[in-house]
Structures are given as structure tokens and as C-alpha cells.
Amino acid sequence: MKIHTKKDIAIVYIVAGMSSRFAGEIKQFAEVGVNGESLIECSLKQALSAGFSKIIFVVGEKTEKGFKEKFGSEYNGIPIHYAFQHYDKSLRDKPWGTLDALCSAREIIDCPFVVCNGDDLYGKRAFEILVNHLREEEHGASIGYKLIDNLPEEGCANRAIINCDGEDNICDIKEFLGISKNRLSEKGLNEDHLCSMNIFAFPHFILEHLNNAIDEFKLLNQGDRIAECLLPNEISKLISNGILKLKGYPVSEKTIGITFPEDKEKVRKMILERGL
């Protein structure tokens, strides 16, 4: 059995936004666990089994109080740190997007890290793969989920589509908006395409490059009240420029997410069936 080197690795959760479809509640606090655990607690249970040494929540004005009251400064003995995603309401209608959220935590992140959504359950295996990768390698990685299995049965979703070379190194990632499970061909996609579901493992040095990217994006989009800088798109640029190497790990698992308050029971049943 391969022995992995022990090193500090942080888990960064992007939880700054409030879903407009979740009745003004913090979606991550939806009680979906078999014993009433919240969605974010279910994710932490999966993640921390992989061996993270630090938890970082990127919060916003509508989630900061709730997260700090719920979690405080540690969870199951693992220290928690908070980063705040700011934006000027006089100039903007919304924050600057997922890359800006991650870069909001750059002063707190001092080691290799995994960044992910706070309202998706990825499964223990995904976190184990990425943590083990960071313990062994000096470059990044992402999990490749089968697209058809990670779309809602009805309606549309946004997904970051992964393309890999013959050695499973990611060549590019492109965010597709409004993908419908029954109309993939309209987007030039098929069932076997892989999507990242916004979970990435990075070496620490990449933060400098990502921060330069968000600064440039903000400069180019001055005066635009809604433009968002999406993490997958900027990662793809770094790959194309030879700055970042990203390994792709295909998995067969399905992620679990929640969209509406009435989805709680359905999600709870899925968690119970999968033993999560």
C-alpha cells in the first residue's frame, strides 16, 4: 500500500451567496442528513475523513453571521477560518463570481488546498483522491464526473466541461450555461462528456496567478454591474498558457445537490440510500 506524505492541506468552501430559489434561507444549512445534519455538515463529514488540516469558509454579508454562529472557530477539532467576499453595491448588483470568492481567501490560504461548492455533496472518494494527489504531486487536479449523471432530471444547469489528453491531463475547461439533460446535442455535448462540478485541488503558488486574473477581469469590466469571473474559465487559461498542470480523475459517482426547499426529503433519501 502506498504511504502518503503528511502535509497541511486546506479545504475551502465557497458559501458567500444566497440562493434566490431557497426562500431566503442559507441553503447549506438545509437539514438533509439521516440524523438531521445540515448539508454542509454532511459535506464536512465526507471531506474531513480525507485528512484536511484547516477549514476555510468564504462567506458573504448574508451568510457570514449564520456560519460563524453555527461553527465558530473549529469543527471536530479542525480549525475554521473565515474569508469575506466583498463588493461595492454602488457599482455592482452582485459579487464578482467564483474566482473572486476564492481569491478573497488568499491571505488565509498558506498551503495546498481543495476548493469546492458548499451546497454539493461530492462523496468521500473525491476528497480522498484530491488530498492524496496533493500529498504526492506539485500540480493541481480535478474530479471528472460523467455529465449525464450529474444533471437535474428537469430544467437546466451550468456545468464546467473537461477535456483531457491521453494521459488524463486536463487540456481545457469550459463553462456551459443552461445545459438540459434531454438536449445535450444543442450545446455540442454528449452523455460521456466529463464535468468538474467546481471541485479543484491546487498547489499554493497558483493563488498569485488567479489573483492577477481577477484583478485584470475587474479592470476590463469596470462599469459592468453583473459580469462574473468564473473559476473554471480562468483555470483553463492558465492551462493553455502552460502555467498550471491539472490532472483529471474520472469517477463514476454522482454528486448530490439541492435546489429548492422542497427537495430536502429527496436529498435525505439519496443520502440514506448511498450510505453517505
Query: What's the domain count of the chain?
Result: 1
User: Does 1 map to a domain?
Assistant: no
Q: What is the pLDDT of residues 115-149, one digit of tens each?
A: 999 999 999 999 999 999 999 999 999 999 999 99
User: Does 105 map to a domain?
Assistant: yes
Residue stretches of the chain with pLDDT short of 50: 1-5
- Residue 4's pLDDT is what? 44
Residue 159 CB contacts under 8 Å (≥ 6 apart), including other chains: 147, 150, 151, 175, 176, 179, 195, 196, 197
Range of the domain at 111: 10-274
CB 12 within 8 A of CB 109: yes
Can you say whether residue 121 is alpha, beta or left, with left for phi > 0 and alpha for psi between -120 and 50 degrees?
A: beta
- Residue 257's pLDDT is what? 84
Can you say whether residue 24 is alpha, beta or left, with left for phi > 0 and alpha for psi between -120 and 50 degrees?
A: left
User: Does 5 map to a domain?
Assistant: no
E strand residue ranges, 152-214: 156-164, 170-180, 194-195, 200-202
User: Does 247 map to a domain?
Assistant: yes
Q: What is the pLDDT of residues 47-82, one digit of tens each?
A: 999 999 999 999 999 999 999 999 999 999 999 999
- DSSP single-letter state for residue 2: P
- Residue 254's pLDDT is what? 86
Closest by CA position to 96, among listed 216, 253, 252, 262: 216
Cell of 147: 455529465
CB 3 within 8 A of CB 46: no
- Residue 78's pLDDT is what? 97
15: domain CATH number is 3.90.550.10
User: Does 16 map to a domain?
Assistant: yes
User: Does 36 map to a domain?
Assistant: yes
